A = this chain, B = another copy of it.
Amino acid sequence: MDSQGFEFSEARGREAASALGLPVLVPSTALFTDRYELTMLQAALRSGAAHRRSVFEVFTRRLPEGRRYGVVGGTGRVLDAVENFRFDDAVLSFLSTEHIVDDETLAWLDGYRFSGDIHGYPEGEVYFPGSPVVRVEGTFAEAVLLETVILSILNHDSAIAAAASRMAVAAGDRPLMEMGARRTHELAAVAASRAAYIGGFSSTSNLAAGFRYGIPTIGTSAHAFTLVHDSERDAFKAQVVSLGSGTTLLVDTYDLSEAVRTAVEVAGPELGAVRIDSGDLVLLAHRVRQQLDELGATNTKIVVTSDLDEYAMASLASAPVGAYGVGTALVTGSGHPTCSMVYKLVARARSTDPDAPLEPVAKKSLGPKTSLGGRKWAARRRDEHGVAEAEVIGTGPVPPELADQQLLVPLVVGGGTAGREPLDAARRRHVEARGALPLSATMLSKGEPVIPTEVV
């Protein structure tokens, strides 16, 4: 091990940066792990059970209260995390110094690379209670280690994607701008931008999200910019000189109607947009639209950005608004900042023989935490018009009529990444998947899952 306790080669840094980047280099995702995964590994290596072929599944027992569908977010980031999940010298040194696992376990971890298979719902797909969103197959040892990092990513990103999807429905054709970085952890914010884009947002204020994922970035000015100048007019002039008349001027620092007048005087009727960040947005949007039209700025758009959520956007549907900027409500999942996905052992062999048959297993205690054992397939049954009727999951053979409606796709095969795709593919998939649900799926009011989950 490195004498400084931290080994990090430049070449490896670049490689990891390109995979898990952000502006952040991640030498390994192996410590995004709960300690019990390693202590289980140690005990299972001793008992021999570590080498039994095993199947873990990620699913949720329920959707967040009132939600009619879930949205799979984070699959692409799971692939990054699995690729980078390895125990380098710095990590091993920590585990050794802290006596977290014994030497036999450290030696096993030293060579760790996941070599099994992962199937899952493709990113952007919708899901329901019981949907096997991800299925991980390998030895118990190699699969048990991935629990925490897979759940962290899916529970966070799917919560944001679901909120984004509801907002996209409420926004209709109007563009949605993600502006929530300041309301969540600085790196969660980058993942949130990504999930929002999948759910239907079109841009982000977050430069790291632009850097890492190529999401279009937007943004012009804040109240501070107006306040640092001697007058609003000076500020608007400075902005228009520097950014052009297509810019968006923030008009609610002092008096709104005076600001709108000044804005059009300074930028001319070709002013791109004005932004309103406070007050009764419905009322103000109508007033400002009328004023802009009277000033001849008929093509100048109105952008609104004040603590919006899907309900506020729905109430603005008939207001003359050109685009929405959304922050807090998006990055906190609009009331549901996490999903309740769990990672459960559902089947395992009774011996370490690689050909030993899998046997279903499940926690048996009474109550809501009981789960369904067995390695599962999933399909979405549709009616004659192509509208989804039921989420069907089972452990036996797939019924022939559902064979071509299966939901699980290969993500990792024999340890190699198989399911990589551009972010736009997930974004398009989500529109299609949501569009194939019954119409009541997109009601904003609280409801039950829009299709039932059937176990066959």
Chain A interface (Cβ < 8 Å from any Cβ of B)? 4, 6, 8-10, 13-14, 17-18, 22-40, 42-47, 49, 52, 54, 56, 81, 90-91, 94-95, 98, 100, 102, 140, 144, 147-149, 151-153, 155-157, 179, 181-191, 205-208, 210-211, 217-225, 227-230, 234-235, 237-239, 241-243, 252-256, 277-279, 306, 328, 331-332, 337-338, 340, 343-345, 348, 350, 361-369
- 4 extra interchain contacts, Cβ-Cβ under 8 A, other than A34-B205, A43-B242, A153-B186? A42-B242, A148-B206, A184-B338, A306-B369
Q: Which residue of B lies closest to A45 (CB)?
A: B242
Q: In the bound complex, how far is the Cα of B44 from the Cα of A234, in angstroms? A: 10
Q: Which listed residue, B18, B27, B369, touches A23 by the CB 8 Å rule?
A: B27
Given A184-B188, A238-B46, A279-B365, the answer on whether A344 and B31 have CB atoms closer than 8 Å is no
Q: Which listed residue, B156, B220, B237, B345, touches A228 by the CB 8 Å rule?
A: B345
Contact B361 A148 (CB under 8 A): no
Which residues of the partner chain B approach A81 to less than 8 Å between Cβ atoms?
186
Q: How many copies does the complex hold?
A: 2
Given A217-B35, A363-B253, the answer on whether A210 and B241 have CB atoms closer than 8 Å is no
Which residues of the partner chain B approach A4 to less than 8 Å between Cβ atoms?
14
Q: Which listed residue, B22, B207, B332, touches A38 by the CB 8 Å rule?
A: B207
Q: Which listed residue, B179, B224, B252, B344, touches A223 by the CB 8 Å rule?
A: B344
Contact B365 A35 (CB under 8 A): no
Q: In the bound complex, how far is the Cα of B31 from the Cα of A190, in angstroms? A: 10
Q: In the bound complex, how far is the Cα of B328 from the Cα of A48, in angstroms? A: 33
Q: Which listed residue, B9, B17, B188, B227, touches A188 by the CB 8 Å rule?
A: B188
Q: Which listed residue, B26, B35, B46, touches A218 by the CB 8 Å rule?
A: B35
Which residues of the partner chain B approach A191 to less than 8 Å between Cβ atoms?
185
Q: Which residue of B lies closest to A104 (CB)?
A: B242
A18 to chain B, nearest CB (A): 8
Q: Which residue of B lies closest to A277 (CB)?
A: B369
Q: In the bound complex, how far is the Cα of B32 from the Cα of A350, in angstroms? A: 49
Contact B34 A179 (CB under 8 A): yes
Which residues of the partner chain B approach A149 to less than 8 Å between Cβ atoms?
186
Given A34-B182, A34-B219, A140-B228, the answer on whether A24 and B26 have CB atoms closer than 8 Å is yes
Which residues of the partner chain B approach A27 to less than 8 Å between Cβ atoms?
23-25
Q: In the bound complex, how far is the Cα of B191 from the Cα of A184, in angstroms? A: 11
A306 to chain B, nearest CB (A): 8
A436 to chain B, nearest CB (A): 30
Q: In the bound complex, how far is the Cα of B189 from the Cα of A149, in angstroms? A: 10
Given A54-B228, A179-B34, the answer on whether A278 and B26 have CB atoms closer than 8 Å is no
Q: In the bound complex, how far is the Cα of B253 from the Cα of A161, in angstroms? A: 33
Q: In the bound complex, how far is the Cα of B14 from the Cα of A187, in angstroms? A: 20
Contact A363 B181 (CB under 8 A): no
